[in-house]
Amino acid sequence: MTAPPKSGAANAASAPRTRCDVAVVGAGAAGLMAAICAAERGRSVVLLEKSPRPGLKILISGGGRCNLTTTRSGSDLEAQYGARRGRFLRHALRSFPPAALRAFIEAAGVPLQEEDLEKLFPVSQRARDVVEALLRRCHDRNVDLRLEAAVVALGRDGDGFVLSTARGEVAARSVVLATGGLSYPKTGATGDGYAFCRSFGHTITRTFPALAPLAVGPGWVRELQGIVVHDVAIASHDANGKLLCIRQRPILFTHKGLSGPAPMDLAGDIEEAEGRGGVRFDFVPGVAADELERQWLAATAGTGTQKVEGLLPPHLPARLRAALCGLAGCATSTLANWSRDSRRRLLTTLKDLRVPVARSLGYDHAEVTRGGVDLQEVDARTMQSKRTPGLYVCGELLDVDGPIGGFNFQAAFATGRLAGLHA
Ligand SMILES: Cc1cc2nc3c(=O)[nH]c(=O)nc-3n(C[C@H](O)[C@H](O)[C@H](O)COP(=O)(O)OP(=O)(O)OC[C@H]3O[C@@H](n4cnc5c(N)ncnc54)[C@H](O)[C@@H]3O)c2cc1C
């Protein structure tokens, strides 16, 4: 993490000072969109980016393909962010839904296509095309983009603001903070915006890594490394065993624990449970436990030397089937000597296997940050700070996060747009 930025009254440096209507800090999805929208309203815009490359997270997203958004809409879309965050995002998402983001990006020269799980990607499969399209828009609207221009201090200057960067000062009538969260710090997101917001009286809710692989203790999980399972449900639970989130998406067993879309979606909950939560597997989500037992009893009637393992559903890889039988204590049982207790243990192992999970692999591996600028202190219709007029906050810097599936870019673009329309 870089040294925390200075905030409060900024230093008057000897470097040249630029004046503009709007200074946008951070050239990620939210900042690029805010800059474009402000410039389209005729505002003079300076876009300040810490790293040498703008839109770095867009470039690495979706394995370099960029899952830009989703085809979900309306209240179903809002619900993906949870009740409180979804309520805050309602105006942003309704005024700029996924269909509008799609139209915007396609008009900028990047056709999109729908893939599995309602995800939208560039037809070219190149995230780079999205960044280049956004940069072309910035260029065409005369956005003054400055790279390697980390904002190190932000303060009031009369009714406006002054921002100090290594490349000089910028005086602006309003400021849009789009500095992202703490995840993937090597991309430039090191939490600078939190300190700026705090200095203007904002509360920063506790932050946690989210959308990250899970570090799982029990050896049997790590021994299954390399296995991918489909058609399996996994759910997070808190310290009291309360079910938090359930996902039926691919799961990858790794040498550290669990990865893939489903476990990653649960990481934020696991982190919030602070070592007292865990996950539950249902390896046969389509069949109730009593129905499964009935099927087993019918299949075992009159049979003898066949191993119990042969009864497990074929969609489970052989190594996983063996591990589950081992956990249930029936690895060597045959159908003939299979006891009722053992059958019940295997049922529980298949339908409700609980595994304590203390943490995720952390911010270095987390696609987003949960927590951030308190939503109660930001006007949901404009993204303007309720503490400091003229200051706007958008994107992942806000206490907003969504699951895998294009929901995080959708929120970043939609909130960035509102900031740009009002700053
Ligand atoms: C590996 C990975 C894959 C992902 N895949 C997807 C996906 O497919 N779909 C999806 O919806 N989401 C995905 N995400 C999440 C998505 O990238 C983020 O939600 C989104 O980028 C947030 O946008 P943002 O503009 O708010 O922040 P960021 O993209 O983090 O941008 C913030 C910018 O601010 C700059 N900055 C920070 N501090 C300063 C400062 N002091 N001065 C100047 N500039 C500063 C940073 O350098 C950075 O460029 C992925 C994330 C990762 C890490």
Write down the pLDDT at residue 402. 98
Write down the pLDDT at residue 404. 97
Write down the pLDDT at residue 3. 40
- Return the structure tokens found at 347: 């049922």
How, if at all, do strands 368-370 and 208-210 pair? Answer: antiparallel
Q: Model pTM?
A: 0.94
Write down the pLDDT at residue 15. 62
Write down the pLDDT at residue 302. 58
Write down the pLDDT at residue 5. 46
The fold of 6-208+368-422 is FAD/NAD(P)-binding domain (3.50.50)
Rounded Cα–Cα distance for residues 131 and 370 (Å): 24
363 CB near ligand 1 (under 6 Å): no
Tell me, in angstroms, the distance from the centre of ligand 1 to residue 55's CA: 7
CA-29 nearest atom, ligand 1 = 25
* Beta carbons of 31 and 395 less than 8 angstroms apart: yes
- For the stretch 221-245, pLDDT in tens is 999 999 999 999 999 999 898 999 9
Write down the pLDDT at residue 306. 85
Choice from 47, 57, 169, 383 to test ligand 1 binding pocket (greatest atom count within 8 A of CB): 57
Q: Of the candidates 383, 412, 421, 417, which has an alpha carbon nearest to the alpha carbon of residue 28? A: 412
How far lies 369's CA from each of 212, 293, 343, 408, in Å?
Answer: 10, 42, 42, 10
Tell me the CATH number for domain 209-281. 2.40.30.10
By percentage, how much of the chain surpasses pLDDT 70?
A: 96
* Amino acid (1-letter code) at residue 182: L
Where do the structural domains in the chain lie, given as residue ranges?
6-208+368-422, 209-281, 289-353
> Residue with the nearest Cα to atom 26 of ligand 1?
395
Rounded Cα–Cα distance for residues 127 and 61 (Å): 7
CA-65 nearest atom, ligand 1 = 8
Cβ neighbours around 318 below 10 Å, total: 11
CA-69 nearest atom, ligand 1 = 11
180 CB near ligand 1 (under 6 Å): yes
Write down the pLDDT at residue 204. 98
| Below-50 pLDDT ranges, the chain | 1-13
* Beta carbons of 180 and 194 less than 8 angstroms apart: no
